[in-house]
Every structure is written in structure tokens, then in C-alpha cells.
Structure 1
Amino acid sequence: MSNGRTTILIVEDEAAHAEAISRALWSKEDRVRILVVATLAEYRQTIVADPPDIVLMDINLPDGCAIDVLNASEAERAFPLLVMTAYGNEGLAVEAMKAGAFDYLVKSTEGFARMPQTVHSALREWKLRQDHQQIESALHESEERFRTLLQKVPTIACQGYAMDGTVHYWNHASERFYGYTAAEAIGRNILELIIPPAMRTEVKSAMETMVATGQGPPPSEMCLRHKEGREVEVYSSYVILQKPGRDPELFCLDVDITARKNYERQLEHLSTHDDLTGLANRALLFDRLAQSLHYAHRSRRLVAVLLVDLDRFKVINDSLGHDFGDQVLCAVAQRLLQNVREADTVARMGGDEFVVLLAEVADAEDVGLVARKILDNLSRPYQVGHREIIITASLGISLYPKDSDNGAMLIRNADIAMYRSKRDDRSNFCFYAAEMNKHIQETMELEGELRHALERKEFCLHYQPKIDLLNGRIIGSEALVRWHHPQRGMVSPADFIPLAEETGLIVPLGAWVMKEACQQARVWQEMGLPALGVAVNLSARQFRRGDLPQVVREILQETGLEPCLLELELTESMVMDDPAGAEETMRALKEMGVRLSLDDFGTGYSSLNYLRSFPVDSLKIDRSFINDVATDPSGASVVASIIDIAHNLGLTAVAEGVETLEQLKFLSGCDCNMFQGYLFSKPLPAGEFAALLRSGRQMTIDA
């Protein structure tokens, strides 16, 4: 100390961090003196010219690493050294602690707040270590003085015993460390008292070596045993005292390092486990996978990698909040652990993606059974807080050695199989097959081309007429996007719409469709054609964006189309993901005069209570119900019921996918208001649709 003040040396090459650390350590009582240097060279000069009481050193410096300093002889340092780093370097932290760092500090707001206490604790522990060294010296100077001193030091346990292990000295700290009073310990053998059975042979051999050489073993860390059976981790050093004419005596000095070892284990755990769920992280998964592949190669067994991805988890996160989503992820993690053996590994890859590693399985059929159990277990209701929710998952499986002998490739192939499962049938599993790679490559190529299609003006709109069932006249249209690829020709919407939705490209594409449809409707008006409404499909991503009303308003202002002539079609599942938020968005759209239609009605899970509160203008009956109305009485009843619901709620009933006169007659008999389908016209390019309007063509409807 300098003039009663503690001198703290900060070795930090980033000025902002050095300033933040200095502010955190500054004392109002002026009891702290802070020195700041930026390199190891300056550090070495400073500790000679102006020795500090403690050093805080960034783990990575311009001219070296803090571990290099820590690995130097500890005798060269007369102060404790603490390392500092940013989040994410837990592995380095463990290495630094093992090399002799007193503590590990994270440069963060929370870390800065704890820094004064951490520095204080390090100085105190350093003082204890100096006391420890002084005691060792005192042993050689005076046994009586040593015994008196040891009784007064509460943090260092000392035991004295003969070379056969019989205890003859046991200080107060030993009583606290190990639970035995001096009366209980003295006269008993140290091996039976505090040495775990598994270590006794080794310790006895070391004692015999001390008798032969007259030298104690080097200081070491040991895990000893408390009277109650629990472990006590200590840093032990030894001194042999030899008096003329008497047998040598061994004194052992122990410092309790249980807390520090627990901290080291915690850091090591953090470096290999997910901090939210406690599952294995990516690093530990790859390590376990490599071991499993090695053992499976020798035993000629299978290894299975199951990649689990939660369905529609983003909706939960967006609507109920990230804290709620985190609770769901933790609950899912526990469910996954219920379906694996102790030898298997469950890991979280990030987000809502998990991996289950099944080590040494007999055949693929067993893997399929486990996959089904996992999916069934995950799909059971979850009680999170006051809410009950349902979560489903899609699962992909790859097998060693069939699909690869490389861990990274097995995970990649399981990921490919998972996406196939998600595409084909959610809440199911799929085994990887080599041909999936070809599909993935084609999809990736299509995605790249899709990203440039808008700017290259490869998209166009086709318009399918909507027909009034009362008079058979065209009273509106639905705008449907088409992609005319310069090499592939017409790309099916079934191929590019899901891809656009998945990649987020649906948002700019959807805005273009809306603007193009509104502009075309205005062009038809300027040509003297009837002012007809145009319907545009909204994607889930578009609808969930908070700026949708503003986007619609700007398009209407820019194109000059009357708001009542624009109809936006929403799906049941889209609005039921977050009914309250959906209603708010719909009301904002209705306030500007836009019409709203609930598309594919009957295929989702909307309740009539919500339907009654949603400000929609029409219900659109899905084509899957229309297909069989002429031949299936139950299907016909469903359609009739939907039309009745629409009319009772004051809504327009619209049937889509009408292809036969029988279907049309049935709908007319049920008083359906409107229909569209190939019976009247397929979707047409803008020019052909205008010609159709000019022709005045109408449908003759006989109920």
C-alpha cells in the first residue's frame, strides 16, 4: 500500500473499458490509487517501479495473453492477478483460473458493479495465502510458536501426525473444516479420518516416500472427507519437522477452496451447456457425437441424430413475449429428457431447435419408435403460468453409418429431413434420404432467383372473376401472382409462395402485388370499364407486421384507388394466432374503408365468438368443401351451414373452386352470394380480363 491507499494496476488496451473499470473502483474516501497501462511490457515495468497491491488484466493484450503471465513462476508476483474478458470466453476463463488467476471478471455493467467486492475478496484471499506462507516458515523456526499461531488462524486447518498417520495435533480450523473435535481426532489415523477410501493407498504410499526422503510432497489440491460424509476441497501443503532423537513429524496445512472449485466447475459447465435450458450446447454435442461415432464404429452399432424444431414457435414469442417463450423452451427441454436414456444426449442448438443424440442403437425401427414417443410427448398440453398451450414439433433423423460418418454432416442431413417433415406434415418425423439433397439444392437455387425476380420484373398478376350468383355478372376479381421465369417458364405458386413466406421475401412481394392490383383496377376504370373491387391475399408475415395499415394507406394514396374497391383476404389461422392483435389490425384497415374477407373458412379453428367480433365483410368457403357438395351429403351440410353462419352474421358468402354446374346449382339453392372458379373462368392476364369485361359475358344460373 502507498500512504495507506490500495494501489490497483489496470492492464487494459481499450481506453473506454479502462475508464469504466477505473470509475467502478474509484473510492470516495480516496483509499484507492489506480494505475492504468495498455501492454504487458508496460505492466512489467510498472510492477518494478511502482509495485501494486492487485492487478486487473485483460486476458488478451496487444503484445500477449494474461495466461502467459499466470504461467510464470508465482514467486515472481507479490500481488493477486485477476483476468478480465467479455462474455463468451468461459473456456479461457477456466484455463486462466487453473493457471493461477484469483478470479475471472466479465466486462459488463453487472461485472463493473461487482468489481469493488471482487477486488476486496481477492486482496483478502491473497492475505490469507501470505499468512499461509508465513506459517510454513514459522514451522521451521519454532514448533511452539507455530502451534500457538495456528490456533489463532481460523482459515487454515492444520493437522500434525506421525509418519504412520496417527494424529497428534488438530487445530480449531480443522474442527470446522472436517467436523471432528480435537478430542475425536487425536490418536486416530489420518487415513481413516478424512482421506476417502479410494485415495488411501495413494496417500499411504506418499507418506512412506516422505519417511524415506525426508521431504514433503509438493503442494496440491485434494478432495477430502467431512465427518458427515460430504466432500471438502482443499489446497494442501506439507512440512516435515525432525527433532534430534525423535521420529519425524508431518504437519499438513489446508486452505478450503471448495467455493473456488465450485466456481470453476460452474464456468466449465457454462462453456458446455445452454444457459437457458441447462441442456448440452453445440460444443458438447459435437464432442459427444464424436465419441458415439468412435464407439459405434467398434461395436458396429447405429448412431441416430434427431433434429427437433418446434412448429410456429415464433408466433408464441411474438404474441406472448420472449420471457414466456423462454419458459416454453425450458418445458420442452424437460420433455425431451424424459424420452432418452442416460447414455443419450439432448442439446439445444439455438432458438427453438434441439438435437437428440441416440448412442448405439440396434436398428432404424427403434429410432422411429423413439421419434414418435418424443413427438407425442411434446404435443401434450403445457401449463405455462396461467396459460395452457399446445406445441407441436417437426423432427428429422439421420443415421450413422448409412447417411454419413461425419458428425457435422449427420446434423446437416437431419436438418434437411426435418424441413421435409415440416413441409409435408407438421408434427411428424422423416428419415433422411440422399435425394433430399437434390431438392435442397433446387430450393436454394430457386430462393436465389426469387430474390432477384422482383427487380427483374418477372412477376405478373392474373385475375380470376368473382360472379354474383343472383344475376351471373362479374362483380369483382381476385389478383393472383404468377412468376414467369426466363429459363424455368411459369413457376407454380405452390413452389415459390411457401419459399417466399419462409425467407421473408413475401413481405416486399406482397406489397408489390397489392400496389400492382390497385394500379390495374384504376387502369380499368380509366378505360371506361366498370369500377370493380379487387381482392388481394395477405400472408401471415405481412399481417403480423405492425406497419400493414400504413403500407395499405400509402398504396391507396399513390394509386388513387377508392379504399372500398380493395379487399384483403385473411386466413383463419392467421387471425387466430393472436386474436386480440388481429382484431386491432383489422379495425385499423376497416377505418380507412378497406373490405376484409376471411379466406379458406372452415379449415382453421376460429370460434364463432371471435368471428362475431372480427370486422370482416365476407366468408370465403374453401374449395375442399366445394369439391364434394354434389355427391357427399355431409360435405354439403357443412357448406350450407357456413353460408347460414355468414348470412346470420350479416356477411357475404363466397365459394371458391367452383368447377361444375352441379356445384353451382347447389350453391345457388343455398343462397350463396358469390362464386369464383374454372366453371366461369380461370385466372386471366390483365388484358384478357379487360376483354372479358368488355364482352359483357355473364353466367346463366338455374337453381
Structure 2
Amino acid sequence: MKWFSLYPSFLQPARSEPPPAQTQILLCALEQCVDSVMITDANGIITYVNAAFERITGFSKRETLGRTASLLRSGRMSAAFYAQLWAQLRAGRVFKAIFINRRKNGELYSEEKTITPLTDENGQITHYISTARDVTERLRTQDQLHRLSHFDLLTGLNNRGAFLSLGERVLERARLDNHRVAVVLADVDHFGQLNAIHGQNVGDALLVEMAERLSRLCQSEHLARTSGRGFAWLMTDPAPDTVLTQAMRPLQSWQTPFPCDNVSLPITVSAGIALFPDDAENFFDLLHKAQLAKRLAKQGGGGISQRYQPELGLRESGDSRLCAELRTALGNAELSVFYQPIFDLTWNRLVSVEALLRWDHPQHGMLSPAIFLPLAQRSGLMPQLNRYVSDIACTALSRINDGRERPLRLSINLSVGQFADPGLPDTMRQVLTRTGFPPGLLTVEVDSAALSGPQARPDGALTALGALGIELAIDDFGLGHLALEALRRLPVQAVKLDRQLVGRLDSDPLAENVARASLLLARELGLTLIAEGIETPRQIQWLQQQGCHFGQGYLLAKPMSATALAEYLDSDQCRFGSELL
């Protein structure tokens, strides 16, 4: 009998003795390939399949040879798809696509397939060779992450990132149609007090019920949960003189007390409303105007709705004063940089620090960056702040690393707006040259919001930073509105798992699923994984079990000054051990 009778005819020798060594190596390579390989003749009749094909499809060689590839068809691919496939192949061109096929047991699966025409010396097609990889699990993970990254974990509504993208699209359509758009921002009054009295579970149940009532009255795609206690929605083409009345209808659905955990909770809500194009020409400004109106509603005691009025802008004078003080503090080097340790969760040792800006205001005390960074953004101070933080942090870490066998890495945060600064790469190059800090030890953290949405395309800036040798990391990964193609498009090396996800790992199975999907996707893309906001031993254990590489949080170490960091490194505290687990 002839050798290798199950293999493609064009590889079979014409004689019955063993094939030449080269052919035998080729056949062995095909058989041991992890990807599915199928070869057909010019008429589509299968002449060869490898072991991976049998494993993936469930069909044996004997069940497959002599048949066509249609035995795998699931009915999910259109006739037009197959028409395009054959037109391209018969023209001698390679065809690449993701197929939804059916295994022998009836189960659907997805495979990333490349089909290549093989020609003889006369250029005539004699065979087609198909190589395919089962991507079912990868696509399922990506689909789950894609869906969950657009929606709020608790309520199922759009999250803030998705709402921002939605708003830009709705406004663009409104411009074309010459329509108005209203944005409504609504917050539960005294929500922190409610949580303190009744517990977080009751607060969460309240938010879920509020979302359900809202969904009955508004288009769900126009709704969002934009903060811990806040909701937002869009109204398309409202009448200017009745917009407040129209906005009140959804708000009135919240006036009936909420039954939560055997407790009837009456609540009040403050809302702010702004109208496009009357109050603002772009969605960012429209949100800001609605925020001002909502702030005025709260200052009036809460429980009311407020339409934006031009005079509300004058109330920002306090912000203007604080902005001027920030400019002065920056010029006088009165801002501080603190450093939060990042630990290797496998070896339990400190390997990196994140630089965090702090402002100890002479009247207001220690101010959160959430207060003064938006002011810096609006007043154009972010480039100066970036240079300030980068200079101080790189200088401090250069001194701390001097003589250390294992130098610490340094992470610096950049905001969305900073990528619009064309001088950013040059600024970072000058900082590294001036301070002598190695670019290979520097990580620039980018908020996931910077990688999505129509206003920010930081590709050029990120590529230029990467060319300097700086590592790039995505912050708030897992919950932000992040296009997956951005992860492939950009030179990103690391992702930081969102602190909201990490904080709910102790109590929320859905948070675990989202975090697990995020970690799986990051691993598949070859990205380093960093968890932020670790506060309990169980969170560390879960992250270690899931293969998360690095972590930071108050349980491990709080932010500290450069002097305190140097002392910390010389102490026994810079490793965490069984006492935390």
C-alpha cells in the first residue's frame, strides 16, 4: 500500500516506498501544527486535514476526506459571504475572515481562517489550503468586555464614557437636522448620609430601582449612570420653553418612596438641565453648563430642577480665584508630589511607585486632585503641571535609585487634554535628559477615556513617547469606554485594573466576572496587569489566583513623600507577607 494515503494527493509519492525525508518533515509539521489545516482540490473536495482540525471540529479524517467544507457550515454565514469567498479565491487572491462554523456535536464555534489558492507551474489553481485558529473563547471574552465596558456595573445603564461618546454623536446628528438636544444631570440628595444609615446594599438597591423607573420613561440608550449617586439622560428636540417640564416627568417617577430591604425610602433629587445649541455648542461644555445648574439646585436646598442661565457662569468666580491661586502655587513650587508603592504580587516586593500630585492649600487644607486638576485643565495649566510633576518625580527617583541593585520604576499620570499638547514628547525628552532618569524605567499612565471618543486621538503622542523608550499603561481598565482596537493600535505595554472593580471583588460576583474577563483579555494581548485600589486581603488572594502581576492600594502602602519613601525602602515594610493574607 502507498504511504500516507490520508494526506493530500499532491504530497503523495507515486511509488509505494516511504516518502523523501523533506516530504516526511512537511507532513509531520502539518500534523503537529496547533492551527487547523485543511487542503481541498480545485473543486473544493477535501484531500487533507490535520490532527488540530479533528480536535477542533470533532470530525475524523475518514469522516472528512472526499467531502466539501460545507460539512462545517452553521447557516450563520450569508450566501453573499460565500459568493465573495469564491470570487476572491478563483481570482487567485488570499481570503481572510472569521467564520462561524458548527462542530460535529452541533456546537457553534468561531475560527479565524486564511484560505490560500495553490497554483501549478502554469499558474492554474490546483488546491486550496486553509489554516484556521479557534477564537471562540477570545471573541466571547472580548464581546463580554466590550458590552460591560460600555455599561454601569450596578444598574446596567450606559456608563460615563459611553454617555460622552453618545452625546457627541447625538449632537452631531442634531447639527445636521437643526434640532435641539437637552442634557439632564440628576443627583440623589444626601446619598452619603443614606448609605451611612442604611448600608451600601440598601443604597445600591435604591440606585437599581431608580434606574428601572427611569428606563420605563426614557429611551434606554439615552440614559447613563455617571457617578456614584448621579444619573444623566438626553432629550432630543425639546421645546426651549417646556424643556424643564419635560425633564420633570422622569424625575417625578422618583417621588414615590422606594421599598428597599423592608425600608420605605423617600428621596429628593437635584437636577440641572442645559440645552444645545442655546447654552453650548459642544457636548463637553453642555455637560459643564448642566453641572453648574445642578450645583445651583443643590445650593437651593435640593429637591429641585434648575435650567442653566448665563448668569450662573458668574458663580464660577470662586473657581477662578482658586485657579489663580493654583497658578501662584505652581510658580512658587508649593505643590507636593507623593509616591504610592506598587508591589509585585508574586514575589511580594516593591517594584515601582506612582507619582501623585498634592496641594496643601493654606486656607482649605489638602485638596484632592479631583478638585484642582479640572481647573488646571480648563485654564491651560496642564502642560506646566506635567513638567512640574515629571521634573520632581524623576529627580527624586534618580536619587532614590542611586546605588540600588533593583531600581524602582516610576509611573506618571497624564490627562486626556495633555495629549493635545504637541510639545509633550519634547517635554518628556527634556525632563529625562535633565534629571538623568532612564526612560526604560518610566511609565506614562493614560486614562482609558483618552483612547476613545471623537475628541481625543492620542496615537501620535503615545507613539512618540513609546519611541523614547517610555512604557505606556492604560488606567481605569475594565470599566472605561475603551475601544478594543485601540489596544492593538497603540504601543501599550500595561493596563491598570479599575479600582471600582477591585473594590467590589469582595462582594459582587459580576465584578469578579468583569475583572476576570479584563485580565484574560490583557493576558491574551500580552499586557502587564496592575490592580489599583487594593484594600482587603481577599482582594490580594483573588488577584494572585487570577494571575495579576502587580498591585497597589492602601492595604499595601499609602502614598508618601520622597523622604518617607527612602526610609520605607530601608525598612522591612517594603515587602508584604502572610500577615496581609
Equivalent residue for 1:306?
Answer: none
Q: Following superposition of structure 1 onto structure 2, how do residues 223-622 of structure 1 map, counting pairs within 5 Å?
A: 330-331=175-176, 333-335=178-180, 358=240, 365=245, 368=248, 394=286, 416-417=292-293, 430-431=306-307, 440-526=316-402, 528=404, 530-577=406-453, 581-622=457-498
Query: What is the CA–CA distance in structure 2 between the aligned matches of 1:575 and 1:492, rounded to whole Å?
Result: 24
Relative distance call for 1:600 and 1:325 in structure 2 (3 A) is closer
Render the CA deviation track for 1:538-584: whole Å, top value 9, x for unaligned.
01111122221111111111111100111100011102236994233
Relative distance call for 1:369 and 1:549 in structure 2 (3 A) is same
Equivalent residue for 1:699?
Answer: 576
Calculate the TM-score normalised by the size of structure 2. Answer: 0.50
Query: What is the CA–CA distance in structure 1 between the aligned matches of 2:500 and 2:360, rounded to whole Å?
Result: 28
Aligned partner letter, 1:560 = G
Query: What is the CA–CA distance in structure 1 between the aligned matches of 2:287 and 2:531, rounded to whole Å?
Result: 36
Equivalent residue for 2:122?
Answer: none
1:664 aligns with one of 540, 543, 562: 540
Query: What is the CA–CA distance in structure 2 between the aligned matches of 1:517 and 1:460, rounded to whole Å?
Result: 10
Partner of 1:619, secondary structure, is strand
Query: What is the CA–CA distance in structure 2 between the aligned matches of 1:546 and 1:434, rounded to whole Å?
Result: 33
Are 2:557 and 1:681 aligned?
yes
Query: What is the CA–CA distance in structure 2 between the aligned matches of 1:326 and 1:377, rounded to whole Å?
Result: 11
Query: What is the CA–CA distance in structure 1 between the aligned matches of 2:454 and 2:181, rounded to whole Å?
Result: 27
Render the CA deviation track for 1:265-301: whole Å, top value 9, x for unaligned.
xxxxxxxxxxxxxxxxxxxxxxxxxxxxxxxxxxxxx
Query: What is the CA–CA distance in structure 2 between the aligned matches of 1:490 and 1:691, rounded to whole Å?
Result: 23
Relative distance call for 1:375 and 1:568 in structure 2 (3 A) is same
Relative distance call for 1:329 and 1:608 in structure 2 (3 A) is closer
Render the CA deviation track for 1:5-56: whole Å, top value 9, x for unaligned.
xxxxxxxxxxxxxxxxxxxxxxxxxxxxxxxxxxxxxxxxxxxxxxxxxxxx
Partner of 2:458, secondary structure, is helix
Equivalent residue for 2:505?
Answer: 629
Relative distance call for 1:420 and 1:649 in structure 2 (3 A) is farther
Render the CA deviation track for 1:325-352: whole Å, top value 9, x for unaligned.
9987843743469xxxxxxxxxxxxxxx
Deviation (angstroms), 1:493: 1.5
The two structures, once aligned, show a CA RMSD in angstroms of: 4.3
Aligned partner letter, 1:331 = L
Query: What is the CA–CA distance in structure 1 between the aligned matches of 2:369 and 2:308, rounded to whole Å?
Result: 26
Query: What is the CA–CA distance in structure 1 between the aligned matches of 2:388 and 2:164, rounded to whole Å?
Result: 26
Report if the CA contact (8 A) 1:654-1:674 is conserved: yes
Deviation (angstroms), 1:445: 2.1
Report if the CA contact (8 A) 1:596-1:616 is conserved: yes
Deviation (angstroms), 1:435: 13
Equivalent residue for 2:83?
Answer: none
Relative distance call for 1:366 and 1:629 in structure 2 (3 A) is closer
Calculate the TM-score normalised by the size of structure 1. Answer: 0.42
Query: What is the CA–CA distance in structure 2 between the aligned matches of 1:437 and 1:529, rounded to whole Å?
Result: 55
Deviation (angstroms), 1:480: 0.2
Partner of 1:659, secondary structure, is coil
Structure 2, gaps ≥5 residues long = 1-162, 183-236, 253-271, 298-304
Deviation (angstroms), 1:687: 0.7
Aligned partner letter, 2:245 = E
Report if the CA contact (8 A) 1:522-1:559 is conserved: yes
| Aligned-residue identity in percent | 31
Query: What is the CA–CA distance in structure 1 between the aligned matches of 2:477 and 2:250, rounded to whole Å?
Result: 36
Relative distance call for 1:642 and 1:420 in structure 2 (3 A) is farther
Render the CA deviation track for 1:455-482: whole Å, top value 9, x for unaligned.
1221010000000011110000000000
Deviation (angstroms), 1:434: 14
Query: What is the CA–CA distance in structure 2 between the aligned matches of 1:445 and 1:486, rounded to whole Å?
Result: 14
Equivalent residue for 1:132?
Answer: none
Deviation (angstroms), 1:602: 1.7
Deviation (angstroms), 1:488: 2.3
Report if the CA contact (8 A) 2:412-2:443 is conserved: yes
Partner of 2:331, secondary structure, is coil
Report if the CA contact (8 A) 1:378-1:392 is conserved: no
Deviation (angstroms), 1:637: 1.3
Query: What is the CA–CA distance in structure 1 between the aligned matches of 2:247 and 2:542, rounded to whole Å?
Result: 50
Partner of 1:541, secondary structure, is helix
Question: Which has the greater radius of gyration?
Answer: 1
Query: What is the CA–CA distance in structure 2 between the aligned matches of 1:630 and 1:461, rounded to whole Å?
Result: 31
Partner of 2:521, secondary structure, is helix
Report if the CA contact (8 A) 2:244-2:307 is conserved: no
Aligned partner letter, 1:538 = L
Relative distance call for 1:649 and 1:579 in structure 2 (3 A) is farther
Query: What is the CA–CA distance in structure 2 between the aligned matches of 1:459 and 1:580, rounded to whole Å?
Result: 28
- The number of equivalent residue pairs is 333
Relative distance call for 1:420 and 1:625 in structure 2 (3 A) is farther
Aligned partner letter, 1:643 = L
Deviation (angstroms), 1:526: 2.9
Aligned partner letter, 1:365 = T
Q: Following superposition of structure 1 onto structure 2, how do residues 50-199 of structure 1 map, counting pairs within 5 Å?
A: none
Query: What is the CA–CA distance in structure 2 between the aligned matches of 1:480 and 1:552, rounded to whole Å?
Result: 17
Aligned partner letter, 1:394 = L
Deviation (angstroms), 1:489: 2.1
Query: What is the CA–CA distance in structure 2 between the aligned matches of 1:415 and 1:598, rounded to whole Å?
Result: 27
Report if the CA contact (8 A) 1:623-1:658 is conserved: yes
Equivalent residue for 2:34?
Answer: none
Partner of 1:490, secondary structure, is strand
Query: What is the CA–CA distance in structure 2 between the aligned matches of 1:519 and 1:396, rounded to whole Å?
Result: 37
Partner of 2:358, secondary structure, is strand
* Bigger relative contact order, structure 1 or 2 (CA pairs below 8 A, ≥6 apart): 2
Partner of 2:395, secondary structure, is helix
Report if the CA contact (8 A) 2:445-2:472 is conserved: yes
Relative distance call for 1:312 and 1:332 in structure 2 (3 A) is farther
Relative distance call for 1:554 and 1:626 in structure 2 (3 A) is same
Partner of 1:690, secondary structure, is helix
Deviation (angstroms), 1:648: 1.1
Deviation (angstroms), 1:590: 1.2
Partner of 1:394, secondary structure, is helix
Deviation (angstroms), 1:638: 1.2
Partner of 2:286, secondary structure, is strand
Report if the CA contact (8 A) 1:658-1:675 is conserved: yes
Relative distance call for 1:526 and 1:667 in structure 2 (3 A) is same
Report if the CA contact (8 A) 2:451-2:483 is conserved: no
Query: What is the CA–CA distance in structure 1 between the aligned matches of 2:177 and 2:274, rounded to whole Å?
Result: 12
Equivalent residue for 1:55?
Answer: none
Render the CA deviation track for 1:66-96: whole Å, top value 9, x for unaligned.
xxxxxxxxxxxxxxxxxxxxxxxxxxxxxxx
Equivalent residue for 2:525?
Answer: 649
Partner of 2:392, secondary structure, is helix
